[in-house]
Amino acid sequence: MLATPWISALGALFLWWFSTGAILVIVRRADRAEGTAGLCAVLWGLPFLLTGAAAFYVSLSQTGVAGPYIAFLAALAVWGWIELAFLTGIITGPNTAELPPNTPPFERFIRAWGTVAYHEILLTAALVAMIWVSQDAENIFGLWTYAVLYFARISAKLNLFLGVPKINTEFLPKPLAHLPSHFRHARVNWLFPISVTALTFATACWLERLYSASSQAEVAGFTLLTAITALALLEHWLMVIPLPDEKLWRWMLPAPAPTKTKGTTS
């Protein structure tokens, strides 16, 4: 059953939705609690990171149908912890100020990079480590999963920087309140067609590999990769198509912290 393409695809879809929602719930609760709640959330999440790293290493030698699922979950666990550390404001970048008006393009890019520098370095370090330990491995579906997430996220951030019609900042917490000032509302930028073409091509490549799969493990693995890449492609299109995708998670999140207002004296 695990090798059934529909089961694998639905599993990937559910895991993407659930893991994203879980991170948003934790971030929202930490945002409401304020203080050191974000740091505590990241520290409490360390077992997931360590378990993900260990599962990724174990999955490299797993050739059965469960191997791709273990690798996929491991990659999501590592990725999810790094995203949690970013969204709670613990691992972001040295620049925490809003972008000044009329900033020249090159300085704007440097300032934007400064808002996410440590996060990007950590993501890259994790990718390099995965590549290093995956040499000559029999099961590299975990590496491919993380690589898809990595390059799709870089593409999304660059598109937000260059300008897209639809930017959803509803779920950004207080530590990242300066981030939207570095985004740009604009018509489709020059990078967007390249991004969606590359993701479409990657999805087609996984489908081709799925069609020619010679084992149940390959069927499961390439179905998972097809699904996660197609979701990344959909996320890109949602930057230009006015659909309320935020409703997928809004209903499950606690209400934002009430805005504090200063009292007035008469």
One-letter amino acid at 102 equals N
Please name the residue that has the structure tokens 């999501």: 76
d(CA 250, CA 136): 43
pLDDT of 2 strictly over 80: no
Return the structure tokens found at 136: 């000559």
Kindly tell me the burial class for residue 186, based on how many C-beta atoms sit within 10 Å of its own C-beta (0-12, 13-18, 19 or more): exposed
HSE, side-chain direction, 13 A CA sphere, residue 123? 25
Evaluate if residue 156 carries a pLDDT over 70: yes
pTM given for the model: 0.92
Q: Is 135 exposed, middle or buried (0-12, 13-18, 19+ CB in 10 A)?
A: exposed
Q: CA nearest 151: which of 245, 84, 89, 232?
A: 232
pLDDT surpasses 80 at 153 = yes
Q: Which pLDDT does position 1 carry in this prediction?
A: 59
pLDDT at position 179, please? 94
Domain range annotation of the chain: 5-250
- Is it the case that residue 261 has pLDDT exceeding 50? no
CA 205, distance to chain mean position in Å, is: 21
pLDDT(221) > 80: yes
* Residues counted in the chain: 266
Q: Average pLDDT for residues 189-216, to the nearest whole number?
A: 96
Band (pLDDT 50/70/90 cuts) for residue 253 is: confident
Determine the pLDDT at residue 7: 83
Identity of the residue numbered 254: P
Is residue 265's pLDDT more than 60?
Answer: no
Q: How far apart are CA 109 and CA 176, in angstroms?
A: 17
Instruction: Give the confidence band of 65 by pLDDT, cuts at 50, 70, 90.
Output: very high
The larger pLDDT score, comparing residue 104 to residue 3, is at 104
